Amino acid sequence: MITYEDFEKIDIRVGNIVKVEDFPKARKPAYKLTIDFGPKIGVKKSSAQIVKRYSKDELLNKQVLAVVNFPPKQIGPFMSGCLTLGLSDENGDVILVTPTSIVPVGGKLF
* Residue 32, domain CATH: 2.40.50.140
**pLDDT 10s digits, 52-85:** 999 999 999 999 999 999 999 999 899 999 999 9
Residue 27 in any domain: the answer is yes
**pLDDT 10s digits, 12-29:** 999 999 999 999 988 889
The confidence score (pLDDT) of residue 50 equals 96
SS3 sequence of 31-89: EEEEEECCCCCCEEEEEECCCCCCCHHHHCCCEEEEECCCCCEEECCEEECCEECEEEC
Residue 57 in any domain: the answer is yes
Q: Is residue 94 predicted with pLDDT exceeding 90?
A: yes
Q: pTM score > 0.85 for this model?
A: yes
Residue 110 in any domain: the answer is no
Residue 84 in any domain: the answer is yes
Residue 104 in any domain: the answer is no
Residue 107 in any domain: the answer is no
Domain containing residue 89: 10-96
Give the count of domains, the chain: 1
